[in-house]
Amino acid sequence: MGKVNFDVGVSLDGFLAGPNQRLEEPLGDSGEKVHEWMFRTASFGREHGQGGADGATDRDDEIVRERTENVGAYIMGRNMFGGGPGGWDESWKGWWGDNPPYHTPVFVLTHHPREPVPMEGGTTFHFVTDGAESALEQARAAAGDKDVQIGGGADVIQQYLRAGEVDEFQLHIAPVLLGGGARLLDGLGNDEIKLEVVRAEESPLVTHVKYRVL
């Protein structure tokens, strides 16, 4: 069986996204700065259908490639699929474009039942209305020997951390202060979760640190 992990960029003050997240600015004010190191890589360009031919091919690029190479299914919250005002009728297929960067089944936690939505490139969005545990069971079954990656948001990641379901995670810590927004590691109390550093890697634009949950 694969592992359950998450792999996200955070600001130095711990935010996944800045304040004032909205449809036109899903990462919130200045939130895109957290991911600048990633946007410039060749792998990110390829994943997001922008070719990536002129992208960086350094260690950051390898790390972008690594983060998805063993993932067999994703779990995400409704907002990460593409919530937002008015965004939940049957014609709306999320904000990841026609060919989302997942290329596997994606299990979306929601209260609104909906038929699965197959997309180009192997991504199918499945909508799970009976809770996080059920989503994880379904994702594990779909992933087989591969890993399940929890995409976000912060609340979804916290839910699985608290439940003791996360085996490993990687943070890409950007030298940026957002001052507000969605804090990744919040309300995760004292002594409940024991961690160990697997590795830390330096880059001029970000620090990559991987943790194992004991």
Radius of gyration of the chain (CA): 16
133 vs 186, which CB is nearer to a second copy? 186
**Which residues here bind a second copy, judged by CB under 8 A?**
12-14, 18-19, 29-30, 173, 175-180, 185-193, 195-197, 199-207, 209, 211
128 vs 174, which CB is nearer to a second copy? 174
Task: Give least dist CB 183 to a second copy, A.
Answer: 8
Nearest to 121 by CA among 94, 103, 145: 103
Task: Give least dist CB 16 to a second copy, A.
Answer: 13
Task: Give least dist CB 212 to a second copy, A.
Answer: 9
Dig out the tokens for 45 from the structure.
């360009």
Calculate the dihedral angle through the C-alpha atoms of 23, 44, 41, 161, rounding to the nearest 10 degrees: 80
Task: Give least dist CB 76 to a second copy, A.
Answer: 22
| Cβ neighbours of 35 (radius 10 Å) | 17
Collapsed DSSP state (helix, strand, coil) of residue 51: coil
50 vs 203, which CB is nearer to a second copy? 203
Long-range contacts of 120-127 (CB under 8 A, 24+ apart): 123/96, 123/99, 125/81, 125/93, 125/94
145 vs 202, which CB is nearer to a second copy? 202
Tell me whether residue 108 is exposed, middle or buried, using C-beta atoms within 10 angstroms of its C-beta: 0 to 12, 13 to 18, 19 or more.
buried
Task: Give least dist CB 17 to a second copy, A.
Answer: 12
117 vs 209, which CB is nearer to a second copy? 209
